[in-house]
Each structure stands twice: as structure tokens, then as C-alpha cells.
A and B are shown apart, each in its own frame.
Chain A
Amino acid sequence: MARKSWLWGGVALVLGLALGWGLAGPVAVFGQNPVLPGVARSLQPSLSPSPVSDAKLKVFAQALALIEEQYAESKTTKDLVYGAIQGTLGTLDPHSAFMTPEEFRELQIETKGQFSGIGIEIALKDRVLTVVSPIEGTPAYQAGMKPGDQILKINGNPTKNTTLMEAVKMIRGPKGSKVTITINREGFQQPKDIVITREIIPIRSVKARILDDGIGYVRVTHFQDKTENDLQGYLKKMKQRLVPFKGLILDLRNDPGGLLEQAVRVSDEFLKSGLIVYTEGRNRNQNMRFFARAGQEDKVTNVPMVVIINEGSASASEIVAGALKDQKRALIVGVKSFGKGSVQTIIPLEDGSALRLTTALYFTPSGVTINEKGINPDVVVADKPLAADKSLQKLRDELLSQHMRGEGLTDKPWNQPITPEELDKDPQLKKAVELLRNWPPKNLAQQP
């Protein structure tokens, strides 16, 4: 599982919570044209001249034959080839990877922004499969599942010793089909069976709150198909609710990225015109420039804006922060971002597996590469320092229980104003609010 979270920052969002090392999994995705994964055309190898000499391939074939003949146990050629492809990708940058068919399907679900299931976030708490939260309005929510419920069985199968991935697989299924979940809850005399009909569940990547003096707060957790749409929804509601709309905070902390196209659309939402990002690859068809659409009335282009980033903001998050910074549209608050300025194309292979391959680098409008550099904030505000004695596991557990009690900033309804106590717990957010309350910032306004 440890390894998985390195590669799959985003999946953890659906399954539970991602922290720390989980951030290395950003996926800015586009194909030959800036579209979805799965659309990238895969050329037929047989149509093009061989890039690799026959002599080298012969060495590979010899090795394969030796293993089949001499290795202590028999291995399928498929397993060996999967190992080989993994090894090939291992010689590339850390963002290129091989995905098994299962991993590829999970990525598609993640980027599509929806799946068919019952609508719960689950995690292993003290090794017991536990509901983190039922998503509002989903079948699980309506069936009365509650945060902290322990899932003992799924369709009669005990969940002891199952991995999170396996459990997720068992709970999900075609729309309209039924799943029986056996849960235990504090106060129950004995475990209860709940039968739930699966439905299409949207994955929300945008959450929001407001402050009572006309400031809006939007948090983007990752960039998937529905991100811009969800963002627009909140912005529309804020425009009606916040009169005057005095300021907007865009929180991109711990957002590992996602679809490049969505990063462009989210940036466009706040820009009147001009360049957002451009990419350069080894092949000319990877060189692209993305501009904001001019003349769109309903965009939020004049409201003072602060973007919060941290070392967990990567890829698509850095595109948005970079564009808004270079165009002087927003002040950037927080700490330097991750620094992942490369674009990965998802290349499906014929057996359902896929490659995630770095095919281009992207640059902010001022021509700066983000790769290994990151976006520097205009106003540096450190995260709350980590208590020295806390292990990653402890930290994760604490966050989890906080989330289960509904105490996270975005666990409350969007129109419930953020309280001063909540601000005190989050120094970066507090600074962002202060800046917007005293807009324009004097010292920074003259910055080149």
C-alpha cells in the first residue's frame, strides 16, 4: 500500500486521506490534443521503424527464455513482461509509470469524477475497515450509515485482512445492483445488515465555505472532469450570497494535480485574457499554448484573490497558481509548491494496462519552468509546525478522527461562515483573510 500511495496521491482521496508522501502522484494528462486519458492514440508499433536494435531485443528474448527454463518456479510470460515494462519505466523520471489494468481503471474513475457504488469514504482504522464519512445524498447516507461505523462484512464476506483496494472493489458494482454491508456501531447489541442499492456517485473535487464579511473560500482537492463545473457552481452561489463579493481565497494545498485541461479551465475562470500555460515536448505536436477566453461576462475576474499553496500543491495546482501569479491576478500565500512541471500522457496498451509517460514540460506565462523549482509564494507563511514526536501514522489517525467528527474546515456546509476559532487553527488561511480584508496590500502592490 505504501508504494501505491506514492504513485497514487489521488486515489487516496476517494478511499480516505492522503498525507505526506502521498503527494507524488500528480497527473496532468493530455493526449495528442488536450483531452482525457484514454484518448491518446497509440501508434501501431509494426507501422514504424524499430527504435531498438534487433541485437538488444535478442538479449531480452534470451533472458526471457532463460527465466522460463531455469527459474526455480514457473512464471507466466505476462507476469515477466509486466515486470519488464515496469523496469523500463523505472529508468525514466519518477512521474512515468506502468499501470496494471486494475490501476488504469481506477485512474479513469478518478479522472471521470464519478463511479458506481454506495457513496462512502472508507479507511483502515486500527486495522478495522471503518467508514470515514458517507457522502451526502448518496445511498449510503440515506441508508443511515455514519462516520465511525465498522464494516465487518461485505456481501457476507468478512473484511478481516482485506486491503482497502479489495474492499473498495467489493463495495463498488453496477448501478442498480445491491450490496449487503454488515456494520457494527457503538451502542449496537449486535452487528446489523444493511442492504444498499448502488448508484452513480459523483466525486467532489471542489469544496467551499464563506466568511461573514463577503469573502469566499474555495478548496480544490484535485483536478478531474467535473472540477471546473463544480467550481462554477460555487462561484455562482457566492456571487448571489456575498454582496459585495469582496474577496476570494483559492486553496490548492495538498492538491496533487490532475487533468491539464481542467487546470486551464480553472485558471480561465479568473482571467480576462492572456496566456495561461504552454507546453514543450520532444515532438512538435506536444508544443501547445493555452489562453484565457476573452469577453466572457460571467467570469470572476475582478474580485481580489489570494491563492494558498504548500509543498503538496503539484502539477495542475502549480499551473493555476503560476498563471494567476504571472498575470498578477492573485497573491500567492503559503510555502513553495512541489515543483512538478511535467505533463504525462496516458497511453493505453492493448491488454488494458497503460503507460503514464512524461511527454512534455510546461511553463508559466512568463516562461518559467516549474520542474523541480516550484511556485514561490508572494507572502511566505509556514504551515503549523509538526510536533516532533508525531509519526506519520499518528498524524493520519488524528486527521481521520477529526474528519469523522465532521470538524474539518470543509466538512461543514458551504454557507456556514468560517469562525475566528477555525481561522486560528490555520495560520496560512488566516493570513489570506487578513490580506483580503486590507486590500490592496501596500507593500506588495508595487512589486514588479
Chain B
Amino acid sequence: MILAALGLAAYFLLPAWAAPPASNYDSLRLYTEALFEVSHKYVWPKEEEDLIYGSLRGMMNSLDPDSSFLTAKEYQDYLLGPPRPSAEAGVDLIVKDGLLTAASVIDGGAAARAGLKPGDHIIKINGQMVRNLTTQEATRRSQGAPNTAVKLQVIRNGEVKPLDLTITLEPLGLSTVTTGYLDNAVAYIRIRYFNNETPGELDSALNNIKQHKPPVKGIILDLRNNARGSMEEAVRSASLFLGNQQILTAKGRSTKTEQSFTGKDRDLIFKTLPPMVVLVDQGTARAAEIIAAALRDQGRATLLGVKTLGLCGLTKAFPLEDGSALMMTVAQCYSPKGDKIPGKGLEPEVPGQKPQAGTEPEKAPAQVKSPEQDPWVQQAKDVLTSGKPKPAPQTGPAS
């Protein structure tokens, strides 16, 4: 009976399913079979809505870290527009291996100062297990009024026991971009995260660098541990370096939806861009990944570090008939040369030096040190001043 119901529902809702392939039908039967077993035999009775919503959540989470299921209430919150919290923890969350994970922890933010590190898995928020929590909902819980305390329990790779951290929420602070000079010769730009102000801040930072005397020999752009930012912010920022060159292509299911993004000539700051090295790591995602890929593919920068997260796409909300909704990736980012970014990430041409023995391998320094003490920054400076600042030959992402 369920079978019939589901088949029928599918039939009415989607004309393309008028004759579903046999394998689809088998899969649906498998689902109803599983649902039946759980609702009849599980030791504690469950509400049917819980089970179905669990299914929807599981199905969306199996797609990619940006896709998720929203309950009716969560969807209403979403429709109110992006939250403008007065204070937040300063962390970007994704679901990785089924666990809520910090993709990046913003420098100087409350979470960073409480000791949270990129890659940490969050298992409890304020004493509650986070099973089945959407990233949207978890993000909401990491925001609030200034001075609110949020308790997290996290599992860290290499640690035997879970760690308890208390984060005191606070505003993230004003600037997203900071600039410095190494040996008065190489400019160092750090972007903590992207927001609407970032392109403007980057614009003035680059103009200052342009006026620096003596002229800089190169620019280091630090995009490590940076997973926050929209496609639009990325395009506006990349445009400052690239002018009217292509920045990315967004492709969805059909070629009709393919969209190419190009910068504006009037945004260009340097007529001749100094050689650049872009620092990336496993916390580099979204806007930061778009810029890194564009600078690399347009022959403007060498990437240095470790492979990036590989999370970059356009999402869209689709309401369902009971008021809940699907948040779904409808298009994915491709670099100007046609490399797909989501799920693959960018493989840097110059691998970042491994930390000294005794620390975890392949982990970028999470706590941002002063650039002078940061081994990757020094490595980048060497690349820029060694006389071989040209990007290494393209090898493409490792497979």
C-alpha cells in the first residue's frame, strides 16, 4: 500500500516519471521496506514526521556539504534573509563524514580564541548531541547576543578524549583584510573571510601596495582557513587582480544554466600585476577557492600549501508541499581552464612545508602567527624572490 502511494505520488508530481525505470522503482520499494521495518520494530515508537524528515535530511546530506533539508520553521527563518547577528562564534560549519565539522575558524574570532581549530568535529552544543543538526541550525546556535556563552564539545584528530570549549560570542570586528610588508619588498595580504565589504577593503589595500616605495617584488595573498563568502564577493574581489578576464563558470545539470563570470576592466588596479603566491589549505573554500583558481588559471599566481576543501557552488531553496524545504546545490564552480572545484579542491603547485616532527602532519598552522614566523609565508617569499616567480607548469589537480 505504501508502495502504491509512493508510486502514485511520484507519478503526479513529476511527469518525467510517467514511466519510471525499473531500477528507480526497486529503489523506492527498498525505501518503503526500510521505513516499514523501522516504524514497526524499533524499540521506542517514533513519530512518522521524524522518520521522513530524517530521510530527507540523510538524502540531502549525501549530496554535498552545502545541500541540506530545512524544516518549515528553518525555511521561514531562511526567508527572513541572512541573519545579521550582533555577535557570533566565527566559524564556518559543514557536515563531513556525517559529522558537524569546522571548515574554517575565523582569525581573531571568538571560537578561534577559545581554541577551536579547523577540522574539529563538533559533537555537542550546550550539552546537546548534535546528531541530525543541519549546518544552518548549528550556525544559528553559534550566533546570538554579545557575551553569550556557547559550550562546544569537539573531537580533534589525534586526540584521545573529546575537548570542552566555551566560546563567548562577540562581533567579528570590522576589517576582513589586513596588509603588511616583508623585508619592505614583498606585500602580504591576509583575508580572514569574505563579506560585502571585502572587495572595497581589498581595493584600498591593493592601491596602497601599488604606491609602496620601493615597488613590491611580489604579493602573497593568504586565503588559508577561509571558507566564508559568496560567488559575487569572489568575482568582485578577483576582478581587482584580473580586470576583464574570466573568473569562473558555474554549471548545473543542463548546459542552458551554464553561466560565465568575468571581471570588469575598470576594477583592475595593477597594469602589470606583480608576481603572486596564494596560500591555501584544507580550510580554503567557496569565495577563496574561486579566487585562487582564477589567479592560477590566468597565470597570475602560484598556489602554495595543501589541497583545498573543494566546496564551491550555488545553492537554491525549493519549498516542499508541507512547508519544509530543500536547500540544494544547483550549479558548481569550474575554474577558467575548466577544472571542477567541488569535491576535488585545488592541488597547489608548491606543497607547503610539513611542520616539524612531533606535530600532526599535513596540518596547516591553524593559529595565524605573525607572517615573519609563519613557515609557509617564508616559503612563499622564497618563491617570489628566488627569481622563478612564474607559476610552475600546470599539472592539473591530482587524481
Interface residues of A (CB under 8 A from B): 2-3, 20, 42-43, 45-46, 48-94, 96, 98, 281-283, 286, 342, 345, 347, 349-351, 353, 355, 357-361, 386, 390-393, 395
Which residues of B are found within 8 Å of A50, using beta-carbon distances? Answer: 1-2, 5
Is B160 at the interface (CB under 8 A from chain A)? Answer: yes
* CB-contacts of B28-67 with A (<8 A): 28-46, 48-63, 67
Which residues of B are found within 8 Å of A81, using beta-carbon distances? Answer: 27-28, 30-31, 59
Contact for B330 among A60, A71, A84, CB less than 8 A: A71
Which residues of B are found within 8 Å of A65, using beta-carbon distances? Answer: 10, 13-14, 16-17
Is B251 at the interface (CB under 8 A from chain A)? Answer: yes
B340 to chain A, nearest CB (A): 10
The 18 sampled A-B contact pairs (Cβ below 8 Å) are A43-B36, A52-B51, A60-B31, A64-B10, A65-B10, A68-B16, A71-B253, A71-B329, A72-B253, A81-B31, A83-B59, A83-B62, A88-B51, A90-B57, A91-B51, A92-B46, A391-B159, A395-B160
Asked if B330 and A70 make an inter-chain contact with CB atoms under 8 angstroms apart, the answer reads: yes
Inter-chain residue pair count (beta carbon < 8 A): 252
Which residues of B are found within 8 Å of A355, using beta-carbon distances? Answer: 34, 37-38
Contacts A63-B320, A347-B41, A391-B160 given: A70-B59 contact, CB under 8 Å? no
With A and B bound together, what is the CA distance between A64 and B20 in angstroms? 12
Asked if A51 and B36 make an inter-chain contact with CB atoms under 8 angstroms apart, the answer reads: yes
Asked if B36 and A54 make an inter-chain contact with CB atoms under 8 angstroms apart, the answer reads: no
Interface residues of B (CB under 8 A from A): 1-3, 5-6, 9-10, 13-14, 16-17, 23-24, 26-46, 48-63, 67, 69, 97-99, 131-132, 158-160, 251-253, 313, 316, 318, 320-322, 324, 326, 328-332, 342
Asked if B35 and A390 make an inter-chain contact with CB atoms under 8 angstroms apart, the answer reads: no
Contacts A59-B320, A350-B29 given: A87-B158 contact, CB under 8 Å? no
Asked if B43 and A359 make an inter-chain contact with CB atoms under 8 angstroms apart, the answer reads: yes
Asked if A282 and B52 make an inter-chain contact with CB atoms under 8 angstroms apart, the answer reads: no
A445 to chain B, nearest CB (A): 37
Contacts A72-B332, A73-B253, A345-B41 given: A57-B5 contact, CB under 8 Å? yes
A108 to chain B, nearest CB (A): 18
Contacts A48-B36, A56-B52, A59-B320 given: A390-B43 contact, CB under 8 Å? no
Closest to B53 in A: A91
Contact for B43 among A62, A76, A342, A353, CB less than 8 A: A342
Contact for B55 among A60, A67, A345, CB less than 8 A: A60
Which residues of B are found within 8 Å of A54, using beta-carbon distances? Answer: 5, 9
With A and B bound together, what is the CA distance between A65 and B17 in angstroms? 8
Q: Which 4 A-B pairs have the closest CB atoms?
A: A87-B58, A83-B62, A91-B54, A65-B14
A7 to chain B, nearest CB (A): 10
Contact for B33 among A20, A84, A350, CB less than 8 A: A350
Asked if B321 and A62 make an inter-chain contact with CB atoms under 8 angstroms apart, the answer reads: yes
Asked if B324 and A59 make an inter-chain contact with CB atoms under 8 angstroms apart, the answer reads: yes
Contact for B26 among A43, A52, A74, A351, CB less than 8 A: A351
Contacts A72-B251, A81-B27 given: A91-B132 contact, CB under 8 Å? yes
Which residues of A are found within 8 Å of B23, using beta-carbon distances? Answer: 76-78
Asked if B62 and A79 make an inter-chain contact with CB atoms under 8 angstroms apart, the answer reads: yes
Contacts A75-B63, A88-B58 given: A350-B30 contact, CB under 8 Å? yes
Contacts A63-B326, A71-B253, A391-B158 given: A83-B61 contact, CB under 8 Å? yes
Asked if B318 and A392 make an inter-chain contact with CB atoms under 8 angstroms apart, the answer reads: no
Asked if A87 and B329 make an inter-chain contact with CB atoms under 8 angstroms apart, the answer reads: no
B356 to chain A, nearest CB (A): 15
Asked if B30 and A59 make an inter-chain contact with CB atoms under 8 angstroms apart, the answer reads: no
Contact for B35 among A52, A342, A360, CB less than 8 A: A52
Closest to A20 in B: B160
The interface centre, meaning the residue of A72, A282, A283, A390 with most chain B CB atoms within 10 A of its CB, is: A72
Asked if A392 and B43 make an inter-chain contact with CB atoms under 8 angstroms apart, the answer reads: no
Asked if A96 and B52 make an inter-chain contact with CB atoms under 8 angstroms apart, the answer reads: no
Contacts A355-B34, A358-B42 given: A83-B10 contact, CB under 8 Å? no
A385 to chain B, nearest CB (A): 12
Known: A77-B24, A83-B63. 15 other contacts (CB 8 A): A3-B97, A46-B1, A54-B9, A56-B48, A58-B9, A60-B31, A65-B13, A71-B67, A72-B330, A74-B253, A77-B28, A84-B31, A88-B55, A91-B132, A347-B41
Asked if B34 and A349 make an inter-chain contact with CB atoms under 8 angstroms apart, the answer reads: yes
Contacts A58-B13, A85-B34 given: A90-B39 contact, CB under 8 Å? no
With A and B bound together, what is the CA distance between A39 and B35 in angstroms? 19
